[in-house]
Chains A and B, each alone.
Chain A
């Protein structure tokens, strides 16, 4: 793989991670959002795969395949099951409307670029230049968590947040040891399981997963 192809592939894959996070804010159907998250996981795996190929690190290539399987297939699959288990297929309620959310996401992306300016200035490799994208995906994931009412979308937000962290990790360190990645992956898997169980419990108890109704529970 030559340098130009590497840079272009890397930028496409990393850009796709960011674009999918915008799409998650834009789409209204829960199933569609879950599929977008799956695409994001695949794009994340592609970033790791490209870097691994370019730097001839077989371990990173193996990690990328695992990440693709976990974040592209297993976790979105879990979420899809949670979505289908309930009959709330449409995400209708958000605390802010879609244009405002997209605007806020753009603002967060700008903040991510501004905040990582010094880090980017340290090195001129294409990986580091793409680093702000990871921070932006993290912030947008948090935005998703904050603004959506359904607990299922909160889970997707957490997954997106974690995707952002993973992207920063791949771009900033050019590959972490397999053991570390395995640990992180199992953590995320565990968190997803717990959140899914929790969500179904909330649904059984309250007949829905609107978090605003939990407000009654305080003191």
Chain B
């Protein structure tokens, strides 16, 4: 069953690529979308089968490459990531049919997208070092093509692709180094051999391998300080591809960290987990702060991805810390929270990126300050974006709430802990998770409010129209997934146990008990019933509406302009913009963000007491990019300029190089 599904996924992806290469434009877009969705659905079916308990699927292709074969090992940990991919890839592919029709329909993009979907599903399925690296690189290259989709009329896309290419190769370099060292010392290429031989790896090598793993997979996951490519590449890719990259591809960073750090290496000292938690905390705070003040919608979503990956890292790192300090039951809960958040984030971030794509194709802009009033013009997009916003803000009764609640529970209940590091780190983590939750709510109030409510701020926003049917299907399907995940997370109880058991070095036992309605955490006196919670909320909302309606009947209603301040008309210029909404919070975090603000005031020529125009410009530089990457790039450039002296165009000098080389070789090799 699993093998058949995986084969079907491969065949469908190959057919989709062939369709992308061969068919004319209209048919191409349609067939690529359908076949890619089929491929992702087949992968999802395999994942569901494994999560439902059909056991680990393995396959071996020893002669696939000249120097090493590919082994597949599809266990529960792989499955949960493949499931997250399928959750976002199926709707995104269908959405892509409508989205690409007037946009990225070129052959390279239509070939690269199915390849990207397939390789994202195959990376977790790889069961040896060669296979992992091969699929990883396939994924990196196909996603790079997708980022470059609109390079013809968009120079930003080229810069974004350069940053992305550099970071993804840094990532690959670190991963290859780590895995080669690990495979060499453990004496085997397949994961099974590495698990058997891992006791031969000394503690120092293990630490080095772990840190390289963290750098390599962290760069792909987009955690601070490797996040710089994310807010560049995600906005430039076509929206259904950004949904896939942000919802699924960056998660593979988490997968790699868990797989290598806690499965293959079998866990390590407490500092491993502590480092991951710290990286997660910094990423969560940094990501949400930049998302809060961003006014480019897709950039906002990209920064929010850094935040959510940060939360997942906190969960994974906390699980590592708990396991290392002996509390493996709590570790299972933290891991379960992180994995559930992986799936949830795939659903709601995918949904939000698709929504952003609908806005972009309807209005031609991603700038929140130029939108407004879209709720009436694009009702389906507005409703689904609202679902996504509620979910990502971790508000009940949606799915983001469940996983963040689980995460907070596991962090809070670690307090009676023996290890000092754990006792210090966890309260900080709780505070940060709580703060990011609040800021995320503010961010998405801003995003939803300025885009969809109030009056349109520009003519483009005024003339917006609802997207084509296929795009609506994608949006509605993903909001359905969000709601289903919110109401029935209990179905994940048994699968999450299998995931926890698959990670040998981290957890044992069952993280979550359930009776179908009620979630009960093991080892913690805490429980939750999302279904009852949702029903309760619904009852209260209906009751409130009824009361309001009743009240309305009694009173006479007068229509007067609110906050008119003596004026009789209100214009869009009087509305809050995204920038002004975030301004108070930006002041609060002034010391962290260091915004550059210019205010130009023009006076009328007749009198200085009358102001003609005020221009307000705010620019926020990414601190890491500004302080870390740009100096690094400048240094590289300086060295490059210095090295140009070696090649000055003089033929005599080039000839002298070969003479000197010959002499040196003669003398040295004698």
Contact = CB atoms under 8 A, between A and B. Distances in A.
Interface in B202-225: none
Contact of B649 (A112, A117, A215): A215
A146 B650 contact: no
Contacts of A108: 663
Given A111-B663, A139-B662, A146 B670 contact: no
A149 B650 CA distance: 11
A211 B659 contact: no
A212 B650 contact: yes
A194 interface: no
A215 B648 contact: yes
B652 A95 contact: yes
Given A139-B659, A142-B658, A142-B659, A214 B670 contact: no
A115 B666 contact: yes
A149 B656 CA distance: 13
Contacts of B656: 146
Contact of A117 (B648, B650, B655, B670): B670
A214 B658 contact: no
Interface string B658-670: 1100110011001
Nearest to A157: B655
Nearest to B665: A115
A143 B667 contact: no
A135 B662 CA distance: 11
B624 to A, nearest CB: 34
B662 to A, nearest CB: 7
A92 to B, nearest CB: 16
B597 interface: no
Interface in B489-517: none
B652 A118 contact: no
B651 interface: yes
Contact of A146 (B647, B659, B666): B659
A142 B663 CA distance: 11
A108 B663 CA distance: 8
Q: Contact residue range for chain B?
A: 10 to 19
B670 A218 contact: no
A111 B662 CA distance: 11
Nearest to B663: A111
Given A143-B659, A146-B656, A211 B666 contact: no
B574 to A, nearest CB: 56
A217 B650 CA distance: 10
A7 to B, nearest CB: 26
Contacts of B649: 214-219
A146 B655 contact: yes
Contacts of A1: none
Contacts, number: 46
A36 interface: no
A150 to B, nearest CB: 12
A26 B663 CA distance: 22
Nearest to B654: A146
A147 B652 contact: yes
A145 interface: yes
Given A114-B667, A115-B670, A142 B655 contact: yes
Interface string B566-610: 000000000000000000000000000000000000000000000
B30 to A, nearest CB: 48
Contacts of A114: 667, 670
A211 B662 contact: no
Interface in A121-161: 135, 139, 142-143, 145-147, 149
Contacts of A147: 652
A211 B659 CA distance: 17
A146 B656 CA distance: 6
A98 to B, nearest CB: 17
A146 B652 contact: yes
Interface in B372-408: none
B662 A212 contact: no
Interface string B635-660: 00000000000011111100110110
Contact of A111 (B650, B651, B655, B666): B666
A15 B666 CA distance: 22
A59 B546 CA distance: 115
Most buried by A among B648, B649, B658: B649
Given A111-B663, A139-B659, A139-B662, A212 B670 contact: no
Nearest to B647: A218
Nearest to A149: B652
Interface string A187-219: 000000000000000000000000110111111
Interface string B444-463: 00000000000000000000
Contact of B663 (A95, A139, A215, A219): A139
B670 to A, nearest CB: 5
A217 B670 CA distance: 38
Contacts of A214: 649, 651
Contacts of A211: 651-652
A139 B670 CA distance: 16
Contacts of A115: 666-667, 670
A145 to B, nearest CB: 5
Contacts of B655: 142, 145-146
Nearest to A151: B651
A147 B655 CA distance: 9
B640 to A, nearest CB: 13
A189 to B, nearest CB: 22
Contacts of B662: 139, 142
A207 to B, nearest CB: 18
B667 A111 contact: yes
Nearest to B649: A218
Contacts of B666: 111-112, 115, 135
Contacts of A112: 666
A22 B324 CA distance: 76
- Max chain B Cβ within 10 angstroms of own Cβ: one of A142, A147, A211, A216: A142
A177 B648 CA distance: 43
Contact of B650 (A143, A215, A219): A215
B638 to A, nearest CB: 18
B668 to A, nearest CB: 10
B291 to A, nearest CB: 43
Contacts of A111: 663, 666-667
Contacts of B667: 111, 114-115
A146 to B, nearest CB: 5
A216 B663 CA distance: 29
Report which residue of A95, A115, A143, A149 has the largest number of chain B beta carbons within 10 angstroms of its beta carbon: A115
23 contacts: A95-B652, A108-B663, A111-B663, A111-B666, A111-B667, A112-B666, A114-B667, A117-B670, A139-B663, A142-B655, A142-B658, A142-B662, A145-B655, A146-B652, A146-B656, A149-B652, A212-B650, A212-B652, A214-B649, A215-B649, A215-B650, A216-B649, A219-B649
Given A95-B652, A118-B670, 6 more contacts: A139-B663, A142-B658, A146-B655, A211-B651, A218-B648, A219-B649
Q: Which 10 A-B pairs have the closest CB atoms?
A: A218-B649, A115-B666, A215-B649, A142-B659, A146-B655, A146-B656, A211-B651, A115-B670, A215-B650, A145-B655
